[in-house]
Amino acid sequence: MKSIDIREYHTPANGIFFKAKRRLLSERSSCQKIEIFDTEFFGRVLMLDGLVQTTIKDEFFYHEMLVHPALLSHPNPEEVLIIGGGDGGALREVLLYPVKRATLVEIDGRVVEVCKKFFPWLSLALRDRRVKLEIADGNQFIREPNRMFDVILVDSSDPVGPSAILHQREFYARLRECLKSGGIVAAQAGSPLYYLDHLRKKVAFLRRLFKFAFFYLGPVPTYPGGLWSYIFLSDKINPLRIPKKEPSAGLRYYNLDIHRAAFALPEFLSKHLL
């Protein structure tokens, strides 16, 4: 069987490519084009509108770094909200904690249905009695009354196109209103190589909204640039104080040494973001 070449361009002159054994699914939902490929090295790959979202081989880098710095730093995370994350990786990590409720809000219900079939951790997570699935626009969801959470995780797409609103000041101001006392927001913030100007603008308004607003880093081999940035936001919890709790057993990337190191920014970032 002839292999399939998959190319994702990060600029007109560079990007990433995969050799796929076969295309498992290709369809267009009401929101976007959804594709699943079975690749030779990374295993199953989810692509939305031609951009890699998750792969079997390296998803743990991203999901562990999005979830565990916040969940481990909070003394008692009972109510957790995940905005985006229809592939279920962030939800799987949240359920490692004794939370009372994990609410997953995904705008594209078809992504959830597809991922339940091709990424088995999602089906398992959705069977957990603590999980509440909402097919809804996350930006609208947080505007409804009585939405209060200990931790909010924003597992959005990059700050371009329809997801751009999830990276703006108004959205984060509303997230702050949805936090219980001592609450934490953690969000993916994109490639520091490709989105440095955007990160510089974002940090300016985030530090006016939250007492503690820190960027931190982690590798994701299949994401643009291979290095990914995240934001940790809180009015009471300083992530530079190493959590006293131990991480869950069985993690493949995150540990307390990684937590400490992730908040140390390289020079090209620190001069813009500190």
Active site residues: 155
Q: How many residues does the chain have?
A: 274
Neighbouring residues of 57: CB distance < 8 A, sequence distance ≥ 6: 41, 42, 43, 221, 222
Q: Are 251 and 68 in contact (CB under 8 A)?
A: yes
According to DSSP, residue 164 is labeled G
CA angle 161, 162, 168 (to 5 degrees): 90
Q: Encoding tokens for residue 208?
A: 């006016």
Residue with tokens 């709790």: 245
Pairing relationship of beta strands 149-155 and 131-135 according to DSSP bridges: unpaired
C-alpha to C-alpha distance for 165 and 139, rounded to whole angstroms: 8
Q: Are 157 and 204 in contact (CB under 8 A)?
A: no
Q: Encoding tokens for residue 217?
A: 């880093």
User: What is the distance, to the nearest Å, from the Cα of residue 80 to the centroid of all Cα atoms in its chain?
Assistant: 14
